[in-house]
Structure formats: C-alpha cells, structure tokens
Amino acid sequence: MKKALKILGVILLLFVITIISIPFLFKGTIQDKVRYLVNEHVNAKVDFANIDISLVRSFPKASVIIDELSILNYAPFEGDTLAYSKKIALDMSINELFKDATEAISVQKIIIDQANIAIKTDSLGNSNFDIARKQEDITETEPEEKDSSFTFALEHYEINDSKIVFSDNVSKTFLTLTHLNHNGDGSVSGDKVILDTQTNSEASFSLDDTKYLNKNKLQLDAQIELDLKNQRYSFKENKVLINRLPLEFAGFVQLKEKYTDVDLSFKTPTSDFKNFLAVIPEAYAKNLDGVQTSGDFSIDGQIKGKSDDTYIPKMDIKIVSHNAAFKYPDLPKGVKNINIDTQIKNETGLVDDTYIKIGNLTFKIDQDSFAANGSLRNLTKNMIVDMALKGTLNLANLNQAYPLELEEKINGVVRADIKTHFDMQSLEKEHYQNVKSSGVASISEFTYASTELPNEINIEKANVSFNPQTISLDQMEATTGKSDLAATGTIDNLMGFLFAKQDLKGNFDVNSNVFAVSDFMINEPESEEENTNTNSTTEEETMKIPSFIDATLNFDTKKVLYDNLVLQNAKGTVKIKDETAYLQNVTSNIFNGGMAIDGNVSTKSKVPTFAMALDLSKIDITQSFNNLELIKGLAPIAKALTGNLTTQINLNGNLNDDLTPVLTSLKGKALAEILNAKVSTSKTPLLSNLNSQLSFVEMDKLNLKDIKTNLSFDDGKINVKPFEFDVEGIKITAGGSHSFDRSMDYNVSLDVPVKYLGNEVGSLMSQLNEEEINTTTVPLPIGISGNFTNPKINLNTGQAVKDLTQQLINKQKEKAKDQLVDKGQKALTDLLGGSKKDTEKNDTENNNTEETLKNTAKNILGGFLGKKKKKDTTKNGN
C-alpha cells in the first residue's frame, strides 16, 4: 500500500509539474502565433504587454491571457488608437498549445475586458479599420499548409465595461456606446448553434448635428440560431428597447455565394401613443412619466429580398397614428388631432427607388391647426422634395403644450399656405429656375428675447410671397431697443439655405428712423479654454458678422447711433458675404459736415480687420476731436483748435471686439486741410509752452486758414510731411512724427525778423541800418520732443545767430565787390588819362577797404562765439 501511495504521489507530482511547466514551454508558441498573424495580415502597429498561459485557471482547458493589447493606425490616421483592451482571456484545448505558429488554433471561450474601439471615416472616405493587408502583400503559403489564424468554436463569450465610438464624417453620423456589456452562451443542436445574447449599454447618436440619443439606455435580448453549414442566421424571440421605443423583430439573414438573402420584420408590441413620444429624441421629449395620451401609434415594417452590389432588400415600413393626443401633467395645454400616415418604401430593390411618403400629418394646439403632406424621392442621389404646408401656429402655445425649455422667449402667430417642389442638385448648383414654389406666409406680433441679445426683437408684421424662382419679402416692420426697421426685398435661395446649408442670399431695401448699433451687439461667451485660463465666466460683448448671410442691403437711415456718435441721413449699400461687410457709397452728415465711406469690415479671423477710405468734409474740429478716437490719435493738437476741417483718410488695420480701430495697428495715409481755425493755447501744454517762449508771437490770435498737410501712419507712428503757414508775417514750416502713445519728434522753423531776437544778436544788429533791421529775417529752428502732456522745447537761437552772421558776411562781400567795381572803373579812367596822384590815392583806398572787410568779419564771428579772440603776444618772443 505504501508503495502504491508513493507511486501515486510521484505521478501526481509529475502531473503538477507538467501542468505548471507546460505554460512556460508553450508560451513562445502563442506569442509566435500572435506575431505571425500580425505580420501576415495586419497593416497597423500591434503591441501587447504580456501573454500569460495557465492550465490551472480553467482546467482541464488551457487559459491564455493577453494584457494591454493595442492596435495603432498608420497614415492617414497616424498615431490613432483603433483598439485597446486591458485584458483578453482565451480558453482552448490543451492540444492547441502543441500546434506551431502556422496552424489554426481553436478557441472555445473569449472574454474581453475594458476595451476601447474607435472606428473612424474621414471626410475623404478613408476608414481607420481598413487595416487588412492586401492579398498581394501576404506571403503565399504552400497548398499543404494549413490556415494560420484563430478559429472560434465558442461556448461562451463576453465583452465587459467597454466603449465603442463610430464616427463617419462623410454621412455626419456619430454613434457612441459606453458601459457596453454583452455576452452570449452557445448550445449545439446537430449542425446548428443557438446563441442566447444579452446586451446593455448607454447609446449616444447624432446625425448631421442633430442629437437623437444622449446616453440613452439600450437593451437587447436576442436569440440567434446559427446554421453554420448553410450560413443562415435566424433571429427568434428578439426584443429591443431603443430610446424607450420597444420593438420586436424576427427573421433571418442568409449568406449565399453571390448575394445575401434578408427577411426581417419588426413592429411595436403595443399601439400606445407613448411609442411616438419615445421616437422623439430625448433632448426634446423630456420625461414621459405622467403624460396622458389617447389614440394609437404603431410602426410595422418588413425588409425582404437580396442584397448585393446592385440591389438592396425591398422594404415597406409604415408609421401610423389616428386621432391621437397627449398632454404633459405640468403644462396648461395639450396637442390633439394628431394624425400620421407615413410610409418608407422600396418596391424594386434598387436603392435609388427608396422613397418616403407623407400622406397626412396634422396636429392642433388650442385653436391652431397645422397640416403637411408630400413626398421625398430619389433619396440617395438627387433627392426630390415635394411638400405642401398649410396652417396657423401660435408660437406662444408651443412651450405651453410641449416641454421645450427654450432659453429664448418666442411669441407670435405664423400663418402659411405653401407648396414647393425642388431637387437637391438644383439647390447645390444654384439652378434656382428648377425650384417651383408658390404661396404666402406671414408672421405677426412676433417677439424674440435671448440672453445673447441686448434687447427684445419685435416684428409687428412680415409678409412673404413664394414665387417660382424667388421669395419676396413684401413687408417687414421691426423694432428692437431704440432701433426701428422697415424692409422689403427678395430671397434667392431660401430652400438652399434650409436644406443645402447654403448662405442665405438676397437683396433688401431697409429704411429706418433710428438705427442704434448697440441694439445688435451680441454677447459672445468666452470659450471654455479661455474661461479655464482666466478662471472667469465674464461674457465679453463682441460684434460678429453672420457667416451664413450673402446679401446686399441698400439702406436709408435718418439717424445712426454708434457708441457716442450720431450720424444723420446715412445712405448707402452694404454687401455682406463670408463674414465681411463691404461698404459702398456710404454717405452721412456728422459734426456739422459730411462723411463718405468706402471699404470693408471683416470678422472672419480671430482678430477683426478693416480697410477704409474715409472722406470727412467741413467737419467741426472740436466735435470730431471729442468724439473720434481716430482724430485724437492722428492730430492731438486739434484739441486746441476750433473751426472746420476736411480730410481724406485711407487706412487699414485691426479692430477691437466692439469694432473700433486698434490705433497701433493702423497703416495708411491721409490728407488733412484746415479750412479755418482759431487756437487756444491754454488747452494743450505744447502750445502753452511755445507761447511763453516765443514772446513775439501771440498764438491765441492765430487764425489758421487753408492749411494742408500729408500724413502717413505705420506701426503706431504718424509721420507728418513738412507744411508751411504764415502767422502775422512770420513764415512757419513744421514737420515730424508722433505716436499714438502721444510721444513726439517734430521740427519747426520760423522765419523771424532779426528785431525780435533782441539781445541774442545785439552786436550783429549794429552792422545793419534801420531799414535792414526791419526787413532782414533769419530761420529760428525749434525742436519739439517728449510728449503732448509734457513737451520738451528746444529753441536753437545759436543757429539763428549763425545764419544772421552768414547773411552779414555775404552783405559785406557784396558791398566790397561793388566798391571794387567802382575802383576798377576809376583806375581804368586814370590809366587812360588820369594822374599818378589819383592812382596812388586809389591804391590807398583799396587797401583800406580790404582791411575794413577783414575787421568786420572778425567782429561778426566774435559776436557769434560770444567773445573776441585776444592778440597773442607770446609769439615771436614778445
């Protein structure tokens, strides 16, 4: 017995050792298998942290666990993660471990935990899941070699706490399944496998910017029969709950050699009208608890036929409701007389022949009824829309009958009787002659209030006529804040705007008594990133030009209020396109003068920009300086002037959020003309300081008239081309530059009579006679620096003295030349007949004149230098 026990113990020990050692022996086989599959079949970067093999976890089967498996895409989705799973567990027969890397391994159980799968299709139609290597790139195997993949004879499978994201930028379809848990158990009956599956998840689904599901519960209990021999998959006793809409479905899908045979039917298990509310996206349906309903609603559909490259299954889906009604418990009104008769059908199996027929769609709220009927055909290529709408709708009743929870306040009565027929291709190609519309629509007593608008918008009445090719705005009267508007015009592409996402195009004539720009300033919240960075939720008031408008507005406004400006009799044309407003032939009265504008303003970029040609004619200088920051920046000296100004300005630059110019960004040029102006030196330190230093000029008595100057500006600097004017007989030349921070660098030159220079040139004036003192002028340079509030003035009297000195030297030379000419004439006379005594006398006089000229020059230079150089007595030994 002891011997038998020892032998049994040894056997058990060897068995345990074998169970423990086999995973280490065959771990490389499984790793080679995974790597082989990756290299042969996948065009992506596949990686995993570890592969663990155990014969203990699922004995008598082998258990293989792959940790942190990831699949990363190559271009055009470089670096994107297609799939990731924290753990994948596979159960298989121990025999599978003995197969080499090129043989198929059969798996009976698979469990995937915490997987993330992101399936993408970009706008060009590229899909990130298209990672299978092309057949010509796969290494060809010999005929006798076996398949090199995993095969599945599943008895159980699970996907736990996973997430699937599907995004298609071509169809604008986005589906997200979160907290996905799915499992299935298989049982074999002859050649058939029956899977019982349970699925629950939270689903979010949006199509073309409309969110239909938002983390809605999705439940599916499905029994699927798999006939693997005939490749037929049948659905039995299947129930699905989608967005609270219960459906039952049955049928089969069978794969055949050249096509797929489909036969599926589905229907609502009951005809309760709550099924209709369940179809409505949750964002709009809200809580259905306590909602009273009457009438019926049902969906009954069948999809049957073959599917291949040419055909799709035929379909007949009916959505029907008769005389239904509903009322939310907390709302005063209900919706009644609801009738729905809609059919989605395809009778040929050709995808282009699928159509939607709306036979009758009606509802009534209070005393207002609305009806629609029509059809949508040729859905997949060039959809043809044929619709008719008729009825009255009081907008104020909407949120009293249905829980819209609008942030905006909307009231008004809409009346419509419209028929329209068009195809989408005509809209997209702007062939509006193919759009056939007729009828009328109106809105009255309309009000709209929003937190984004500073004031409520009121439309007293608006009438629209639908014509075959255009839509006419026959009348519109609106007010908001201080503003009033009356408009007429045409809309060229309303259907293209509504259905093809085109810009709204039209031409309008707008008249107004008062138009306040601030009434149309929108409150644009900062982005979440900006709020995060600044820890602030403050809303900034910005003005944006709508991106969806492509229109021309001819306007005539008696008064425009913009900031602190008042423009009278403003007329012109504004063309709006691509978030840019183009101003053409805009004229107005402002500051007791006239204004003309041509240019553009654009809010397309993050920083708004403008380019403008501005002509201000005979405007009041004081008013323009007090109200226009541009004038303050271009000519700060205007603060001290009263009178009239004319200027032509061409400039471009950036704008602030309120569309006022960023002065330091301005580039351009200007021509300014002072028609007439008086000066008040006390209003600016610059003129006050000049007035005190130039005692011979009384600047308060200046009367400036017809003075022109050219300006250019760039990088926040204004350059003033030198210009001339005359003050009380004194010619003045001024030029230089200043910046918008009020720093300046100017040079001014005055042609000053020497009599005003006094002691500065006293010694020089002695060389002049009384007439020369009154008529001789010298340039007096003045340098102006610092800034306009604290100017630095430099009177360069030394240069004036130097100029006067040079003038005196030139005069003395002229006198000397004249005397020499006279002497020469006399010498000639003596030569021809004069006495020797006269000749000697002339020589003496000539020498005396030259000496006198030398002495005069020394005296002038001495006066200029401030002292006379003494005779050097130390030279020559003295």
Question: What is residue 312's three-state secondary structure?
Answer: coil
pLDDT at site 811 = 66
65-74, 527-536, 775-784 — which is least confidently predicted? 527-536
Element holding 399 (H helix, E strand): helix 398-401
pLDDT at site 657 = 78
Provide mean pLDDT across the span 55-64.
70
Provide mean pLDDT across the span 824-849.
51
Percent of the chain at pLDDT above 70? 71
Domain assignment present for residue 310? The answer is yes
Strand ranges for 308-404 from DSSP E:
314-327, 335-346, 355-365, 368-377, 384-394
pLDDT at site 354 = 87
Question: Over 50: is that where the pLDDT of 221 sits?
Answer: yes
Domain finish residue from 406, 441, 471: 406
**Torsion region of 304: left, alpha or beta (phi above 0 gives left; psi -120 to 50 gives alpha):** beta
User: Whose CA is closest to 512, among 465, 563, 462, 572?
Assistant: 572
pLDDT at site 390 = 92
Provide mean pLDDT across the span 746-751.
84
320-329, 656-665, 869-878 — which is least confidently predicted? 869-878
Q: How confident is the model at residue 509 (pLDDT cuts 50, 70, 90)?
A: very high
pLDDT at site 637 = 74
Question: Over 90: is that where the pLDDT of 779 sits?
Answer: no
Question: Over 70: is that where the pLDDT of 760 sits?
Answer: no
Comparing 737 with 800, the larger pLDDT belongs to 737
Domain assignment present for residue 773? The answer is no
Mean of all residue pLDDT scores within the chain: 76
Most confident of 149-158, 244-253, 516-525, 807-816: 244-253
The DSSP letter of residue 48 is -
Domain assignment present for residue 110? The answer is no
Most confident of 72-86, 697-711, 726-740, 770-784: 72-86
pLDDT at site 702 = 66
Range of the domain at 341: 244-406
Comparing 161 with 685, the larger pLDDT belongs to 161
pLDDT at site 786 = 83
Provide mean pLDDT across the span 473-500.
83
Question: Over 50: is that where the pLDDT of 143 sits?
Answer: no
Q: How far apart are CA 793 and CA 813, in angstroms?
A: 36
pLDDT at site 178 = 92
pLDDT at site 853 = 43
CB-based contact 185:156 (threshold 8 Å): yes
Q: How far apart are CA 156 and CA 92, in angstroms?
A: 12
Radius of gyration for the alpha carbons in the chain, expressed in angstroms and rounded: 47
Domain assignment present for residue 103? The answer is no
In sequence order, the 6+-apart residues with CB closer than 8 A to the CB of 432 are 426, 469, 470, 492, 493, 496
Most confident of 378-382, 578-582, 680-684: 578-582
Domain assignment present for residue 282? The answer is yes
Question: Over 90: is that where the pLDDT of 343 sits?
Answer: yes
Domain assignment present for residue 711? The answer is no
| Angle value at C-alpha 737, between 732 and 741, nearest 5 degrees | 130
Tell me whether strands 62-72 and 45-47 are parallel, antiparallel or unpaired: antiparallel
Domain assignment present for residue 371? The answer is yes
Cα 825 versus chain centre, distance: 91
Domain count, the chain: 2
User: Whose CA is closest to 805, among 748, 850, 757?
Assistant: 757
Domain assignment present for residue 446? The answer is no
User: 604-640, pLDDT tens digit by residue?
Assistant: 888 889 898 989 888 877 777 777 777 777 777 777 6
In sequence order, the 6+-apart residues with CB closer than 8 A to the CB of 569 are 557, 558, 587, 588, 589
Burial class (CB in 10 A: 0-12, 13-18, 19+), 1: exposed
Percent of the chain at pLDDT above 90? 10
pLDDT at site 538 = 39
CB-based burial, 656-673: b 16+ in 10 Å, e otherwise: eeebebbbebbebebebe
Domain finish residue from 375, 406, 437: 406
149-153, 372-376, 600-604 — which is least confidently predicted? 149-153
pLDDT at site 328 = 85
Domain finish residue from 345, 378, 406: 406
Provide mean pLDDT across the span 639-664.
81
Provide mean pLDDT across the span 147-161.
69
Question: Over 90: is that where the pLDDT of 863 sits?
Answer: no
Question: Over 90: is that where the pLDDT of 388 sits?
Answer: yes
Provide mean pLDDT across the span 340-362.
90
265-269, 339-343, 582-586, 812-816 — which is least confidently predicted? 812-816
Question: Over 80: is that where the pLDDT of 364 sits?
Answer: yes
pLDDT at site 134 = 62
pLDDT at site 554 = 92
Question: Over 60: is that where the pLDDT of 471 sits?
Answer: yes
Determine the length of the chain.
Answer: 878
Provide mean pLDDT across the span 462-473.
83
pLDDT at site 142 = 42
Q: How far apart are CA 654 and CA 660, in angstroms?
A: 9
